[in-house]
Structure 1
Amino acid sequence: MTGCTKDPSITPDAPVTSTPSKTDQSQSVNNWILENMRDVYYWADQIPANPDTTLAPAPFFYSLLYDYNKEANPERDRFSWIQENVDELKSSLSGEEKTTGLEVKYYLRAQGSTDVIMQVLYVLPGSPAAQAGLKRGDIITSVNGQKLTTSNYASLATTPTTFRYGLGEVENGKIVDTQLVKTAIAAVFQQNPVLLDSVYTIGSKKIGYLVYNQFIPGPNGSKTPIYDQKLEQIFSKFKAQGVNELVLDLRYNPGGYVSSSVKLASMIGKGIDNTKTYYRMEYNKNIMDEIKRAGQTGELVTHFESKPQNIGNNLSRVYVLTSGGTASASELIINGLKPFMPVITIGETTYGKNVGSITIEDETGKIKWGMQPIVFKSFNALNQSDYSTGFVPTIEKSEPLQVKSLGDLEETYLATAVAQITGSGTARLSAERGPKLPTIGSSVQRRAGGSNMFIERSKITLY
């Protein structure tokens, strides 16, 4: 197995007597981008024959993408991206980034209004927002003294370093401002993706519940996969406690490392072992032709792992909680398990990302940019990959404005799953509270748009 990245020098062979101009530097970066994209990009045959290499690197990269701006094409490339700093790119893929620790949902303050509010979906434990006392369900109406509107909310929610969050509350069915302000200073913070796990005993049902928010083996730069190990510990506990129903909460999970997805699926799947196909990859035509000529098509298949923590034989089905930000490696879980057991989804239609990427960097260090291009499409054991528009939920739900804590048996999504499991109808489901407001997006969907299921670069084989 060999790496796929070409690493051209950005300096000429002859001695250089002056600093290269910005135009020359951009030209070198663009040449590096184009050569790599022609080699490994999934839609390499769609790259323009004569792209405009005079563009700055980022616009040049996006000019190469397949139908990038053609919204009518659901199969277009919405997902490849490039960053000027490859170290920041790699850090974000490992859950480390500058943040206050909030994930939020955006609503119009009232029907027809241009005012916006943010509902806190969850707060990362130990983060600046958690230390400031912010919690799930808080309603934010202003940042740094400015009311949120449709024209400023995107920048106000992400751009400052110091965030003074002005809070609101629901009063008589309307959002009203309060005098309460909580301040959080954004900092580089490592997310632990394993947010919550519980076991509920209801009659003969032992219900395991897991909130998992990104497929990350371990902290950025760590050689120890402590987050994968935490999942194994949780499923060991589930198995020891006789869990016979599973609710997997992926509504805030935009994807991540395929290797972690394999491990999680291998602890859930029914009747699976390391001979069963979890997913198969399809690369661009040139790479596929080379693989076939070399007789290496077996390298395209990733099997489940034989895990002692597997609880699949105790399960007759699995429930997966979803949102519009459930993407990539999360959708791979749904698609990969479907051939082996019923997968019942509760929530919203998922993002629709049946393709994956690799990180490409210049290993000479002369080019500082990093790319995350789409290089493969995934198929399950039944050769299915038909979710580019997302998985439509088996049971449709949306979160109310006033929410219960995650893990609370009256929290809307969890309560719906438990009612299905126990056959108790909606007895445990508390009434959805708060006004019905138009939704305009979430930070989870933003992460889904800038994340991927990705593999190590060495997984691509060139002969």
Structure 2
Amino acid sequence: MRLSWNARQWGSIVAVGAGFWMTACTKDPSVTPQSPISSSPSTATQSVDGWILENMRAVYYWNDKIPAKPDTTLAPEDFFYSLLYDYTNKANTERDRFSWIQESADELKSSLSGEEKTTGLEVKYYLRASGSTDVIMKVLYVLPGSPAAKAGLKRGNIITSVNGQKLTTSNYASLVNDPTTFNYGLAKVESGKIVDTDAVKTVTAEVFQQNPVYLDSVYTIGSKKIGYLVYNQFIPGPNGSTATTYDQKLEQVFSKFKAQGVNELVLDLRYNPGGYVSSSVKLASMIAKGVDNTKTYYRMEYNKDVMAELKTQNKTDELTTRFQAKSQNIGANLSRVYVLTTGGTASASELIINGLKPFMPVITIGETTYGKNVGSITISDETGKIKWGMQPIVFKSFNAQNESNYSTGFVPTIAKSEPLDVKQLGDIEETYLSTALAQITGSNARISADQGPKLPAIGSSVERRAGGSNMFDDRNPLHF
């Protein structure tokens, strides 16, 4: 049966999410899906697998790579991953490492709107020492109003145990995700070493909605009026709401920047793995220099079947999304923009970098970004009979100069790593921000030295969060 997405709906698809937005588990690409012991699939499994295959053959970006005779005896999750293009081949930088499926479509949709069951912590994991199997967690930031914030946890806290168990490479994944109540054992950095303390913070996870507009400030240094924005997810409003509460907050921030004469901008996307394309367009439209609603922000390319259909219908113009004319735009006062990045900067965040580059210099500070130049949509069963939800890659994005060459990430203009012992976000001595301020003002004295020991990083919760995006048909949200 042919699927009924029309050209306008396709034209709104853009995916920019990196990995997973939340702390829900993602499929490990290093693990080859295994067939179940039984070779006799249930009727329910066959029904779900058939639904998956029908949709994937219609909309998947690499639909020409789907096996001709996929194994429909596999359980739905394993079946889905068996369809993905070169999924386990890490040597292929162009492979599909982004599509995913969840048993609950409702939970999938909630996660893409910033709502999840969480303590409110975003963390990075390190080996306690090179060659060690002990693991520590460094708190990157705490969601205001969350259980973790109420318990007094803050950015820079170091956690070495959960519920009385020391974190190790073999247990940390289950310890930080499986319980509902967490007793976090804290440590501190002392004379360059990590020292355990007796301090314990008890936090119970709850369903919580993130406000992505985390922090904004204006710094006056000489003739420079420097706007600073920490933006952690591209979402227009709370889950289940049609209100664009968070987009409006972005507009308020840029109205303030404009009123205060901001002439330099530092956009902090280091913890932003993507989200709704609609929010990405709005943000870019308030930054870009010399743009209006005739200038291209990005263009999409779908699989050959969809592209042929759009060409037949003379709808290929709907593959291009243009900037919006925004009264809050500060581009006229900007000669460049600074973007702070990490390996968790992905998808819609990378779309911002790529989309602004044709119109102004984009100076990135930090680490190489994730490398997601493709987008996805949310697919669920309209009848409600199948409860699964999937997020397959359906398009690739290009900027106004037809560039899409960042599948391995954007290498930073100025390389910088975040130290173990960190300042609070917005502190002018915080490593990333101080580096940007030094570049803007020409004062190297403002660059703070890295603090604490250098430890091997093994991942972060940011890289496990999922991006979300927007479609005209709310049943099929687009994700970047």
Provide the TM-score with structure 2 as the length reference: 0.90
Asked if 1:214 is matched to 2:233, the reply is yes
Shift of the alpha carbon at 1:431? 2.0
Instruction: Tell me which residue corresponds to 1:277.
Output: 296
- Counterpart residue number, 2:462: 444
Partners of 1:441 and 1:457 in 2: CA distance: 35
The corresponding residue for 2:144 is 125
Output the aligned Cα RMSD.
1.5
Structure 1 position 456 matched with structure 2 position 451: no
Question: 2:93 matched to which residue of 1?
Answer: 74
Aligned to 2:446, the other structure's residue is in SS state coil
The equivalent position to 1:367 in structure 2, one of 374, 386, 396, is: 386
Whether the aligned pair in 2 keeps the contact of 1:358 and 1:457 (CA below 8 Å) is: no
Amino acid of the structure 1 residue aligned with 2:453:
P
Segment of structure 1 superposing worse, 430-439 or 389-398: 430-439
Among 132, 135, 157, the residue aligned to 1:116: 135
Alignment partner of 1:31: what SS?
helix
Give secondary structure in 1 for the equivalent of 2:234: coil
Kept in 1: contact 2:215–2:229 (CA 8 A):
yes
Q: In structure 1, the residue corresponding to 2:53 is in which secondary structure?
A: helix
On the 8 A contact 2:235/2:468 being kept in 1, the answer is no
In the alignment, which of 340, 343, 357 is matched to residue 324 of structure 1? 343
Residue in 1 aligned with 2:453? 435
TM-superposed CA distance for 1:143, in Å, is: 0.3
2:125 matches 1:106: yes
Give matches, 1:176-195, under 5 Å.
176-195=195-214
2:189 matches 1:170:
yes
Whether the aligned pair in 2 keeps the contact of 1:3 and 1:457 (CA below 8 Å) is: no
**How far has the Cα of 1:435 moved from its partner?**
1.2
Residue 22 (structure 1) shift: 7.3
Which of 263, 271, 281 is matched with 2:282 structurally?
263
Q: Which residue pairs with 2:404 in the alignment? A: 385
- Native 8 Å contact 1:79 1:452 kept in 2: no
Q: CA deviation at 1:33?
A: 0.5
Specify the alignment match of 1:338 in structure 2: 357
CA contact (8 A) 1:106 1:118 kept: yes
Partner Cα separation in structure 1 for residue 459 and residue 51 of structure 2: 35
Check the 8 A contact 1:207/1:247 in 2, yes or no. Answer: yes
Equivalenced residues, count: 441
Aligned partner of 1:30 among 38, 42, 49: 49
Deviation at 1:453, TM superposition (A): 5.4
1:233-287 deviations in Å (ceiling 9; x for gaps):
0000000000000000000000000000000000000000000000000000000
Q: % of aligned pairs identical?
A: 80
From 434, 437, 442, give the equivalent of 1:418: 437
Contact 2:61/2:393 (8 A) holds in 1: yes
What is aligned with 1:224? 243
**Cα shift at 1:441:** 1.3
Q: What is the CA deviation profile of residues 103-125 of structure 1, one whole-angstrom value per residue up to 9, with x for unaligned ones?
A: 11111111211111111000000
- Aligned-partner Cα distance in 2 for 1:316–1:34: 49
Q: SS in structure 2 opposite 1:218? A: coil
- 268-277 vs 104-113, which deviates more? 104-113
Specify every segment of 5 or more residues in structure 2 that has no aligned partner in the other structure, as ranges.
10-39
* Alpha-carbon separation, structure 1, partners of 2:195 and 2:81: 42
C-alpha contact 1:359 1:456 (8 A) present in aligned 2: no
Matching of residue 398 in structure 1 with residue 417 in structure 2 = yes
Letter in 1 for 2:187: G
Alignment of 1:277-296 (within 5 A): 277-296=296-315
Aligned-pair distance for 1:54? 0.7
| Post-superposition CA distance 1:66-91 (Å, at most 9, x none) | 00101110000000001110000000
What corresponds to 2:19 in structure 1? none
Task: Give the Cα separation in 2 of the matches to 1:357 and 1:258.
Answer: 11
CA distance in 2, matches of 1:253, 1:90: 18
Unpaired stretches in structure 1, ≥5 consecutive residues:
6-20
- Deviations 1:187-241 (CA, angstroms, capped at 9, x unpaired): 0000000000000000000000000000000000011100000000000000000
Distance 1:69 1:452 in 2: 21
CA offset at residue 437 of structure 1? 1.2
- 2:68 aligns with one of 45, 49, 58: 49
Structure scoring higher RCO (CA < 8 A, sep ≥ 6) equals 2
2:22 is matched with none
| Contact 1:354-1:385 within 8 A present in 2 as well | yes
Q: Distance in 2 between matches of 1:163 and 1:266?
A: 42
Deviations 1:151-200 (A, max 9, x none): 11111111111000000011222111100000100100000000000000
Asked whether the 8 Å contact 2:273–2:349 carries over to 1, the reply is yes
Q: TM-score, normalised by structure 1?
A: 0.93
Does 1:309 pair with 2:328?
A: yes
Partner SS for 1:157: helix
2:269 aligned with 1:250, yes or no?
yes
In 1, Cα distance between the equivalents of 2:229 and 2:417? 19
Structure 1 equivalent of residue 28 of structure 2? none
CA distance in 1, matches of 2:372, 2:171: 28
* Distance in structure 1 (CA, Å) of the matches to 2:272 and 2:192: 31
